[in-house]
């Protein structure tokens, strides 16, 4: 066991991923994934992991969390867990604890992604270019994005809570769906559509529009039925979902001017990968008026690596 | 005349502002503003300015342009001028020429703004706090924003072309207006509403909705009639305009997590300053669902300095 060892953790709204880090690199064989619901607190999950790994001595920990990072005490948006650097440090035997936003960690991982993990969705089949701003965007339990800027001062990540920005609609039909997503909530954010729960609610709305009672399907089941073509309503929901995704990532590409490319991630995005080559997605992505040419030149890739944020944590250790 | 002298220029869609810079500071007495339409090319405008200033020897020039900065040849979005560093360098007797996006320059100016130039619109009456990300947003001929990030590596500005992202609507009435703004264009971007032309078109739409023929009013005339309360349709247009502004800056505050504050700028924003204390603006700004508390804590100021971008150019010289 090395004194240089550290802990990387990526805590999402559903799962926690953990790994040991040595010399700034994730030790692949130590990667583990836990379901949050099996633990009462993040300290319990970390404690269980360390016990399974033979109680390694960790001098530092970098923990990526699906939450705005603002001070030492962090509260997740999509999960009841809270985080305190002192409490987590105690579980780790006094290790220094650093919190990152989970998308900040994903952005820092972009330079470390193995090329075979990036599948071309649109544009150049090359990996995203070096130098220009790159954007990582993901839909899973929630939705967020982060930009990786490169300038003479080095790397800088810009991220926030863009999943909570307003979902933009363009037709009466979309506005009716927006109102369904906004019911009892006052408004519909991007995340109300572009998340697992969002896919489920878009499916429900399509059922209700057809006068059908929605089946009790999980987002994964809706995606599977859409992919196989076995259920037209699931397929319609998937096509609407990728329409919103295309529009939103095109808008974010303009906001951040991410000419270096967009990397898509997140469990729901991956589950609907088939629909990313459909016209609904690409048309919505490129339909940016006078900036259509600018946006059309931006390559889009899908990141096939559920543990990428751990590499980003290691990069910041 | 000092060998350290340089030229700062801020070239918008309507006006060009110029000043000489010495030791990294704008020389206030050298500031001038020209109307773009009085010149065929940016080189002609710069040449006229230098002639008026007695042909100072400039070793460098930093030129802020309302355009995406991507390579050495720049094309404006809202004006036919194009920019080439070599051509402008020749007019300047061989000076080094650097291009910045105009909002990048505004963001770099935030640390140099005189406190009396920042008027509180919402939240803390203090100047925006140091350390946290700050956002500058402006509506004039076009619309854009830039975030000023501060970390251990120094300052970094993140900017793009967010005025071209999709304008988000929330009601049937707003969708009808969106369609009016989108006519013959396929879609309505943020800038289609939040610009001088946007104010004009929002006014037109309100007239048409009432069965009235719109008067041929300029954006400044619409703002004046709205401010005086002399014309109900102009006032309705102004209230709709600040509703969109509040919604959009709340969304951008989430995207960039600009907890350090938002600084509003731009001629149209300033012309409608009275409506920034109206409930339409503040309600739209804060209405962010589960993130309402986060956004409500962000102070908003109005920058009363039409030449601020020149200070940002000087900061980068």
Residue B13 has a pLDDT of: 87
Residue A150 has a pLDDT of: 87
Q: What is the pLDDT of residues A163-208, one digit of tens each?
A: 999 999 999 999 999 999 999 899 999 999 999 999 999 999 999 9
Is there a contact between A257 and B170 if contact means CB atoms under 8 Å apart?
no
Contact B283/B245 with Cβ under 8 angstroms?
Answer: no
Q: Chain B: residue nearest A134 by CA?
A: B158
Mean pLDDT of A212-240: 97
Domain range for A99 is 6-108+307-315
| Residue B278 resides in a domain | yes
Instruction: Specify whether B175 is located in the same domain as B278.
Output: yes
Q: Chain B: residue nearest A244 by CA?
A: B166
Q: What is the pLDDT of residues B281-295, one digit of tens each?
A: 999 999 999 899 999
Instruction: Specify whether A311 is located in the same domain as A272.
Output: no
Provide the token pair at B118.
């920042």
Residue B127 has a pLDDT of: 45
Instruction: Specify whether A102 is located in the same domain as A140.
Output: no
| Residue B151 resides in a domain | yes
Q: A74 to chain B: which residues are within 8 Å by CB?
A: none
Instruction: Specify whether A95 is located in the same domain as A222.
Output: no
Mean pLDDT of A85-106: 93
Band of the pLDDT at B151, cuts 50, 70, 90? Answer: confident
Mean pLDDT of B192-212: 97
Q: What is the pLDDT of residues A253-285, one digit of tens each?
A: 999 999 999 999 999 999 999 999 999 999 999
Interface test with A, best of B289, B292, B294, B296 (most A CBs within 10 A): B289
Instruction: Specify whether A23 is located in the same domain as A166.
Output: no
Q: What is the pLDDT of residues B68-84, one digit of tens each?
A: 887 667 988 778 999 99
Is there a contact between A255 and B288 if contact means CB atoms under 8 Å apart?
no
Is there a contact between A77 and B290 if contact means CB atoms under 8 Å apart?
yes
Band of the pLDDT at A124, cuts 50, 70, 90? Answer: confident
Of B59, A36, A288, A1, the residue nearest A9 (C-alpha) = A36
Q: Which residue has the tokens 């500058």?
A: B136
| Residue B118 resides in a domain | no
Contact B259/B295 with Cβ under 8 angstroms?
Answer: no
Q: A165 to chain B: which residues are within 8 Å by CB?
A: 168, 251-252, 254-255
Residue A129 has a pLDDT of: 56
Instruction: Specify whether A20 is located in the same domain as A46.
Output: yes
Instruction: Specify whether B190 is located in the same domain as B53.
Output: no
Looking at CA atoms only, how far is residue A187 from chain B in angstroms? 7
Contact B297/B166 with Cβ under 8 angstroms?
Answer: no
Instruction: Specify whether B97 is located in the same domain as B157.
Output: no
Band of the pLDDT at A154, cuts 50, 70, 90? Answer: confident
Is there a contact between B149 and A169 if contact means CB atoms under 8 Å apart?
no
Looking at CA atoms only, how far is residue A153 from chain B in angstroms? 6
Q: What is the percent of chain B where pLDDT is above 70?
A: 96
| Alpha-carbon torsion (B163, B164, B170, B176), positive or negative | positive
Looking at CA atoms only, how far is residue A148 from chain B in angstroms? 10
Mean pLDDT of A6-23: 95
Instruction: Specify whether A137 is located in the same domain as A278.
Output: yes
* Separation between Cα atoms, residue A214 and residue A207, nearest integer Å: 6
Interface test with B, best of A80, A165, A259 (most B CBs within 10 A): A165
Residue B70 has a pLDDT of: 75
Strands B262-265 and B300-303: parallel
Q: B189 to chain A: which residues are within 8 Å by CB?
A: 288-289
pLDDT at A19 over 80: yes
pLDDT at B112 over 80: yes
Instruction: Specify whether B172 is located in the same domain as B294.
Output: yes
Q: Number of structural domains, chain B?
A: 2
Band of the pLDDT at A102, cuts 50, 70, 90? Answer: very high
How high does pLDDT run on average in chain B?
Answer: 93
Instruction: Specify whether A46 is located in the same domain as A142.
Output: no
Residue B129 has a pLDDT of: 56
Residue B240 is classified by DSSP as H
Band of the pLDDT at B8, cuts 50, 70, 90? Answer: very high
Q: A258 to chain B: which residues are within 8 Å by CB?
A: 160
Contact A233/A201 with Cβ under 8 angstroms?
Answer: no
DSSP code string of A88-142: HHHHTTS-EEEEEEHHHHHHHHGGG--GGGEEEEES-SSPPPSSS-EEEEEESSS
Band of the pLDDT at A92, cuts 50, 70, 90? Answer: very high
Instruction: Specify whether A74 is located in the same domain as A185.
Output: no
* Among candidates B153, B162, B186 on the partner chain, residue whose Cβ is nearest the Cβ of A156: B153
| Alpha-carbon torsion (B133, B139, B141, B142), positive or negative | positive
Looking at CA atoms only, how far is residue A159 from chain B in angstroms? 6
| Residue A115 resides in a domain | no
pLDDT at B1 over 50: no
Residue B1 is classified by DSSP as -
Contact A236/A230 with Cβ under 8 angstroms?
Answer: no
Q: What is the pLDDT of residues B210-254, one digit of tens each?
A: 999 999 999 999 999 999 999 999 999 999 999 999 999 999 999
Q: What is the pLDDT of residues A31-54, one digit of tens each?
A: 999 999 999 999 999 999 999 999
Cα distance from N-terminal residue to C-terminal residue, chain A: 17
pLDDT at B128 over 60: no
Of A245, A275, A243, A274, the residue nearest A262 (C-alpha) = A245
Interface test with A, best of B136, B161, B293 (most A CBs within 10 A): B161
* Separation between Cα atoms, residue B35 and residue A130, nearest integer Å: 39
Q: How many beta-carbon pairs below 8 A join chains A and B?
A: 128
Mean pLDDT of A113-124: 90
Is there a contact between A257 and B161 if contact means CB atoms under 8 Å apart?
yes
CATH number, domain containing residue A204:
3.40.367.20
Is there a contact between B257 and A160 if contact means CB atoms under 8 Å apart?
yes
Mean pLDDT of A280-296: 95
* Among candidates A168, A255, A257 on the partner chain, residue whose Cβ is nearest the Cβ of B168: A168
pLDDT at A72 over 80: no
CATH number, domain containing residue B28:
3.30.420.40
* Among candidates B147, B169, B289 on the partner chain, residue whose Cβ is nearest the Cβ of A185: B289
Backbone dihedral region for residue A69 (phi beyond 0: left; psi -120 to 50: alpha; all else: beta): beta
Q: Chain A: residue nearest B168 by CA?
A: A168
Residue B277: which residues within 8 A CB-CB, separation 6 or more? B121
* Separation between Cα atoms, residue A100 and residue B161, nearest integer Å: 27
Is there a contact between A170 and B166 if contact means CB atoms under 8 Å apart?
yes
Contact A10/A66 with Cβ under 8 angstroms?
Answer: no
Residue A126 has a pLDDT of: 54
| Residue B124 resides in a domain | no
Provide the token pair at B172.
């049937």
Is there a contact between B256 and A160 if contact means CB atoms under 8 Å apart?
yes
Strands A6-11 and A60-65: parallel
* Separation between Cα atoms, residue B199 and residue A90, nearest integer Å: 57
How high does pLDDT run on average in chain A?
Answer: 93
ipTM entry: 0.92
Mean pLDDT of A127-152: 86
Interface test with B, best of A13, A79, A132, A166 (most B CBs within 10 A): A166
Q: A70 to chain B: which residues are within 8 Å by CB?
A: 257, 259
| Residue B113 resides in a domain | no
Of B46, B73, B148, the residue nearest B103 (C-alpha) = B148
pLDDT at B130 over 90: no
pLDDT at A127 over 50: no
Is there a contact between B187 and A289 if contact means CB atoms under 8 Å apart?
yes
| Residue A124 resides in a domain | no
| Residue A39 resides in a domain | yes
């Amino acid at each position: 066991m090395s004194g240089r060892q550290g802990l990387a953790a990526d805590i999402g709204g559903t799962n926690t991923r953990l790994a040991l880090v040595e010399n700034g690199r994730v030790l692949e064989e130590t990667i583990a994934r836990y379901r949050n619901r099996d633990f009462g607190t993040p300290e319990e999950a970390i404690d269980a992991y360390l016990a399974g790994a033979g109680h390694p001595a960790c001098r530092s920990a970098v923990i990526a969390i699906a939450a705005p990072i603002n001070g030492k005490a962090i509260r997740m948006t999509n999960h009841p867990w809270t985080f305190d650097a002192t409490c987590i440090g105690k579980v780790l035997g006094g290790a220094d604890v650093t919190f990152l936003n989970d998308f900040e960690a994903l952005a820092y991982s972009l330079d470390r992604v193995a090329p075979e993990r990036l599948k071309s969705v649109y544009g150049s089949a090359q990996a995203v270019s070096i130098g220009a701003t790159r954007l990582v965007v993901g839909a899973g339990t929630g939705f967020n994005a982060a930009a990786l800027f490169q300038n003479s001062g080095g790397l800088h990540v810009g991220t926030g809570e863009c999943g909570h920005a307003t979902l933009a609609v363009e037709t009466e039909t979309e506005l009716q769906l927006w109102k369904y997503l906004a019911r009892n909530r006052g408004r519909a954010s991007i995340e109300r559509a572009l998340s697992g729960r969002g896919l489920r609610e878009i499916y429900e709305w399509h059922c209700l529009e057809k006068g059908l009672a929605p089946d009790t399907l999980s987002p994964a089941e809706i995606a599977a039925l859409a992919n196989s073509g076995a259920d037209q309503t699931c397929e319609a929901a998937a096509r609407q979902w990728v329409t919103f995704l295309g529009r939103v990532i095109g808008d974010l590409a303009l906001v951040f001017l991410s000419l270096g490319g967009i990397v898509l991630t997140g469990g729901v995005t991956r589950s609907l990968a088939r629909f990313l080559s459909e016209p609904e997605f690409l048309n919505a992505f490129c339909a940016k008026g006078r900036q259509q040419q600018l946006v059309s030149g931006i390559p889009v890739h899908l990141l096939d690596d559920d543990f990428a944020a751990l590499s980003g944590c290691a990069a910041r250790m």
